[in-house]
Structure 1
């Protein structure tokens, strides 16, 4: 899933703000550094998700017969291959 840089930034702001409101949570760095790290981690996770999606789609398209996207069979295979990739990567 692709989200814009602005949306990733907004989510990172929400994470940093939420953490700042928790009494048991103290920042070792300034809030902007925490926000930037949250955005970096979020973008990395989204990139991994994109790779997993592409791998699952590739496995489906490499079947001997054509399986149309949107069919029940395609959905089942997609979930299976997607979960296999997640397990393989240890996520």
Structure 2
């Protein structure tokens, strides 16, 4: 999934703001540092998701016959291969 830089920053701000509102959470670093780390973590998750998506699509494309994207068979294979890739990562 592609998310714009502005949306990613907004999401990171929301994470930092939400954490700041929790009484049990105490920041040992500046709020901006927390926001930057949240943004890095989100970017890594999105990059990992793109790799999983690409691997699943590659497996479908490597089938002996062409399976049209959007068909029921393609959707089933995509979910299967995507979940297989997630399991390989131990998630």
The TM-score normalised by the length of structure 1 is 0.99
Q: Which segments of 5 or more consecutive residues in structure 1 lack a partner in the other structure? A: none
Runs (4 or more) in structure 1 with deviation over 2 Å come to none
CA-based RMSD: 0.4
| Equivalent-residue separation in structure 2 for 1:16 and 1:5 (angstroms) | 17
The TM-score normalised by the length of structure 2 is 0.99
Q: Which segments of 5 or more consecutive residues in structure 2 lack a partner in the other structure? A: none
Q: Map 1:29-68 onto structure 2 (within 5 A).
A: 29-68=29-68
| Equivalent-residue separation in structure 1 for 2:75 and 2:38 (angstroms) | 32
Question: How many residue pairs get matched?
Answer: 91
